[in-house]
């Protein structure tokens, strides 16, 4: 499987839970990890520094377009950061679990 780690940020745990649940329920991600972070960025000509919540979606390249569309449709930000990094290596056991979790492997 061609695995990806897909990232986005939101401003609260409640917003993160909406995105995480939608992705897992729709089998667009096998797992979503959520963590508190601090972001510094430029927005509308000013520099801001705010607490945010980062989500990492564990998925496949084949599912990325549907995951991105889902995130965009549910995301509270006007311009959400949604980007993917390739997973270069993973254990065979974890890859098999992911395939099963997202429905590309053996049926449950």
Summarize pLDDT for 20-61 with one digit per residue, the tens.
999 999 999 999 999 999 999 999 999 999 999 999 999 999
Indicate whether 108 pLDDT > 70.
no
Instruction: Give me the phi and psi of 107, to 5 degrees please.
Output: -65, 150
- The H or E element containing residue 97 is helix 92-101
Map out the domains of the chain as residue ranges. 3-101
Q: Which among 63, 61, 79, 80 is positioned nearest to 24, based on CA atoms?
A: 63
Give the CATH class of 3-101. Answer: alpha beta
Alpha carbon separation from 96 to 18, 63, 92 (Å, rounded): 26, 16, 6
Residues 6+ apart with CB under 8 A from 88: none
pLDDT band at 80 (very low <50, low <70, confident <90, very high): very high
């Amino acid at each position: 499987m061609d695995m990806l780690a897909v990232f986005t940020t939101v401003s609260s745990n409640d917003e993160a839970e909406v995105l995480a649940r939608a992705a897992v329920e729709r089998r667009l991600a096998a797992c979503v990890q959520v963590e508190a972070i601090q972001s510094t960025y430029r927005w509308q000509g000013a520099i801001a520094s705010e607490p945010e919540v980062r989500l990492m979606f564990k998925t496949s390249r084949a599912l990325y377009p549907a995951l991105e569309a889902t995130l965009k449709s549910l995301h509270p930000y006007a311009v959400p950061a949604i980007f993917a990094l390739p997973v270069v290596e993973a254990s065979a056991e974890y890859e098999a679990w992911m395939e099963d979790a997202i429905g590309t492997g053996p049926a449950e």
